[in-house]
Structure 1
Amino acid sequence: MASFALGWCEADGTPVTGGGGKGVRQALAVLGAEAVGAAGDEGVVAAVAVELVHTFSLTHDDVMDGDERRRHRESAWRAYGTGPAVLAGDALFALAVETLARHGGGHTGAAVARLAGSLRELVRGQADDLLFEERPWTGAAAVRPAEYEAMAAGKTGSLLACALTLGPVLADAPPPVVEALGEAGRQLGAAFQAVDDLLGIWGDPGTTGKPVHGDLVRGKKTFPVLAALAADGPAARELAALLSPGIPLDAVSARRAAGLVEAAGGRNAALAEARSRVAAARECLYGVPLAPRTVDELVALTGFLVDRRL
């Protein structure tokens, strides 16, 4: 089940290749270690630990959201059942901690603490994301922009920050450098989440592996919709009227809602947010002494985070 979740095999154990996702977090982990001149295996150890935690989080996320597809095939809970998938996710997390404990070298304690702290933030962000689905789109109880930002920082930013800093922590890099890399990761997380929100509404199912308008149908509070509702104009008002009753959208009303979000400026606002966050991440990378070649590679990777759209 763990191999299936990682994209290494089919549900029956038949090996496959090319199904392991985008590899963004592993790349950040390796580049983060290289950026501080780590000469050992710190980047590889960090990449393995981070990817195990990431896959654990996706396995549980699919159970909580009821998502039946992940990376163009059945999600783990659909392939094996809910209970087994939850246990597989637990095992992946245990393997991540064991990886650091066995191979972290002289700074294992600090690395495990950082991974655990990131997981705590991730869990809180995921909890908020689920709770937001039960809150109304408008009115006194509606999700506010600051709440959304805190959710995205935990759900997505925490693990990207961990990816960039875990190798440097293992390599005993100076604290100001580690913190600058962590802030870069948090900014990238906000950008990544904004683009994910775009893909959750307008993404091509052939690319994303998920149904079009899926986030709207489920009532997920995403950046494009919140930005559109905050705008002034007829499209924003019609969108609020469409969403405010709290009745789940069908395919037709979801399509209409997506059009209104775009007309009210939500789509452009999310893309602008992603670009702004990427720019902030780049400022963090340029603000501390890091290996220039590696910084160039990190900057190139940040561009991918925005360009992986529609």
Structure 2
Amino acid sequence: MTTAHRLPDADPASETPPTPRETAPSAAREALEACRRLIDPALRDRVAGLPAPLAGVASYHFGWTDAAGRPDGGPTGKALRPALVTGCAEAVGGSARDAVAPAVAVELVHNFSLLHDDILDGDTTRRHRATAWAVFGSPTALLTGDALLALAPRALAEDDSPHLATGIRWLARSTELLVEGERADISFEERDRVTLAECLAMAERKTAELLACSCALGALWGGAGPERIASLRAFGRHLGTAFQLTDDLLGIWGDPAVTGKPARADLACRKKSLPVVAALESGTPAGRRLARRYTPPPDGTGEETPGELALLARLVEEAGGREWAERRAAGELERALAALEAAEPAPEAARRLSALARLACRRDR
């Protein structure tokens, strides 16, 4: 029996997914850039309306200014979630411009989560620059995240849309699940054993839920009926799981020049990411060796030699954790694309959404 077959899997069908078709990444990047141009004015207006200290921290976090408040061309986020909103609106026959309000709302919720996540994880680098809390302090960064969260329903409420009540309800529920997923992720650090099923459920809440909500909001604002909305929500949910798997792979084997974070950062803090949990549950000799070594360093700093981190990464790979995560990510991507097809999207919008999905799940590792 091979190592890959010994790994537990909440969905055995993902063991042998079809190989995804290659799509030109330029189509996805064009879609992201177009969405950023569309939503940036409204997003900046929302942030500028915050009290001055919080607006300055948020502006730094978004990459618009430096730590002193001077205009800066720093790296910004990918805008994947708002691009899914506008793309799904177009997919069902609506207009991207008419879906700016929900696109801005999900981007605000996402960045609320990033500001809090960096504090909770102790991450000092994001997008190749110091995180907001590392520059301005944890209390200020925390409150800035809270302020962004408060802006999200306002972005919807001031749109004067007939979908307002439903949209706010969906976004609120998605945010609740995101927070619950984050709580579960933190609780894993205090436990000796976490099952793969628990880890997948956490990823679905923490990451996939907001992507699913983004797609559903776009379809709702585009005028879709319940069946098409359900299909596009499923597209976002499967894509979100694939995205998290890819992110976890990057957390171990990613190039810091691409990720903007230190090499093997997830291993240094003993994060129970999906590849690690799969390896720990593999029942292999490498998995057992990993379990013996996967405890926090005695001083609790998480700082270790590159050699020790390289050993942990090798044990995860030898136990099959990397292969499992790559296979599962590919399987979730295929399921996402099948759900997209089931929504009977407009051809050009379908092409862009498919390209976005492939780019999100095939980032350089």
Bin the TM-score by the shorter chain.
over 0.9
Aligned residue in 1 for 2:214: 163
Deviation at 1:39, TM superposition (A): 3.4
Deviation digits for residues 95-114 of structure 1 (CA, Å, limit 9, x no counterpart): 11111000151111111111
Aligned residue in 2 for 1:233: 284
* 1:143 maps to which of 175, 194, 204: 194
Q: 1:282-297 to 2 correspondence within 5 Å?
A: 282-297=337-352
How many matched pairs? 305
For the residues of structure 2 that align with 1:224 and 1:175, how far apart are their CA atoms?
35
TM, length-normalised to structure 1: 0.93
Deviation at 1:277, TM superposition (A): 0.3
Aligned residue in 1 for 2:275: 224
What letter corresponds to residue 29 of structure 1 in structure 2?
V
* 2:330 maps to which of 268, 272, 275: 275
Deviation at 1:180, TM superposition (A): 1.1
User: Structure 1 59/104 Cα, relative in aligned 2: closer, same or farther at 3 Å?
Assistant: farther
Deviation digits for residues 6-47 of structure 1 (CA, Å, limit 9, x no counterpart): 121111111123521222112111101111111373322221
Matched, 1:32 2:97: no
What letter corresponds to residue 23 of structure 1 in structure 2?
A
What SS is found at the alignment partner of 1:254? helix
* 2:242 maps to which of 180, 191, 194: 191
What letter corresponds to residue 273 of structure 1 in structure 2?
R
For the residues of structure 2 that align with 1:63 and 1:245, how far apart are their CA atoms?
19
User: Structure 1 230/28 Cα, relative in aligned 2: closer, same or farther at 3 Å?
Assistant: same
Deviation at 1:190, TM superposition (A): 0.6
Deviation digits for residues 230-266 of structure 1 (CA, Å, limit 9, x no counterpart): 2243322222222268866633322211111112221
What SS is found at the alignment partner of 2:77? coil
For the residues of structure 1 that align with 2:337 and 2:160, how far apart are their CA atoms?
28
For the residues of structure 1 that align with 2:96 and 2:236, how far apart are their CA atoms?
22
> In terms of mean alpha carbon deviation, does 150-159 or 35-44 score higher?
35-44
Q: 1:61-80 to 2 correspondence within 5 Å?
A: 61-80=117-136
Aligned residue in 1 for 2:20: none
Contact 2:196 2:281 in 1 (8 A): no
TM, length-normalised to structure 2: 0.80
For the residues of structure 2 that align with 1:127 and 1:42, how far apart are their CA atoms?
34
* 2:109 maps to which of 49, 53, 62: 53
What SS is found at the alignment partner of 2:163? helix
Give structure 2 stretches of 5+ with no counterpart. Answer: 1-56
Give structure 1 stretches of 5+ with no counterpart. Answer: 137-141
Matched, 1:9 2:68: no
For the residues of structure 2 that align with 1:196 and 1:69, how far apart are their CA atoms?
15
For the residues of structure 1 that align with 2:232 and 2:74, how far apart are their CA atoms?
29
User: Structure 1 239/290 Cα, relative in aligned 2: closer, same or farther at 3 Å?
Assistant: same
